[in-house]
Amino acid sequence: MFFVIYRIALMDAANLNTCPETFIYFENYCYYFASEKQNFTTAEETCNNYSLSQSNPCHLTSIHSAGEDAFVRANAQRRWVEKSFWLGATIREGSMQKDDLYAQYSWLDGSPMNFVKFKHEPHPGTRICLQWKHPGWNGAKCSLFKKYVCKTVPQYCKYTNLGRFTVKPFTRKNGILNAHGRSQREA
């Protein structure tokens, strides 16, 4: 009886999404809330070092919904005293003269900026890196030292007949997460 229950539990766990150690899973992504402060460039490089593979890079976080923004904000505030931290967007090179200042920003991970929560009009000039600062987003000098949040796609576990787990990363193609022959549209 114990063996049967144990085997069922293993099979149920076989397709769980897994995040690297110290990352937190939320809605198809893994997040890392850094305890150290870095300037924007070093924070992005540190996130890149957490990449699971070339096809699954890790970047400073992009945010695509009010729910994701609330998750990131709540976890950051629970861990840190600081009220600001780096997000993974910068003003695109050559976009400083655009009328729509919000459209100047782009996510480092290449995803569309389809959700914004600017607390006021972005500042052009030297404030080209995006930060979360209560109660929303705004630009900041990239040289400032801030805590930061990294984001990557999870790995998944696949059960084999040998009773072992193999871990393979999700892959992303045209905005779709693919895992072991299945597709799941990104939110």
Mean pLDDT of 12-21: 63
- Please check the confidence at residue 110 and state whether its pLDDT lies above 90: yes
The three-class DSSP label of residue 154 is coil
Higher-pLDDT residue of 116 and 68 is: 68
Name which residue leads in pLDDT, 173 or 62: 62
pLDDT digits (tens, 9 = 90+) for 22-72: 999 999 999 999 999 999 999 999 999 998 777 789 999 999 999 999 999
Q: What local confidence, expressed as pLDDT, does residue 125 receive? A: 62
- Average pLDDT, whole number, for the chain? 77
Contact between residue 138 and residue 158 where contact means Cβ atoms under 8 Å apart: no
The pLDDT of residue 4 is above 80? no
Predicted confidence at residue 182, as pLDDT, reads 40
Rounded Cα distance, 78 and 65, in Å:
20
- Considering only CA atoms, give the Rg of the chain: 19
- Enter the pTM of the model: 0.73
- Give the model's confidence band at 186: pLDDT under 50 very low, under 70 low, under 90 confident, else very high: very low
Q: Residue 8 above 50 pLDDT?
A: no
pLDDT of residue 95: 55
Mean pLDDT, rounded, for 77-100: 79
Instruction: Between 66 and 5, name the one with better pLDDT.
Output: 66
> What pLDDT score was predicted for residue 81?
81
117-135-74 Cα angle (round to 5): 90
d(CA 141, CA 128): 6
Q: In what order do the strands lie in the sheet with 182-185?
A: 171-173, 176-179, 182-185
Q: Which pLDDT tens digit goes with each residue over 117-137?
A: 988 765 656 668 999 998 899
Question: Mean pLDDT across the stretch 10-14?
Answer: 39
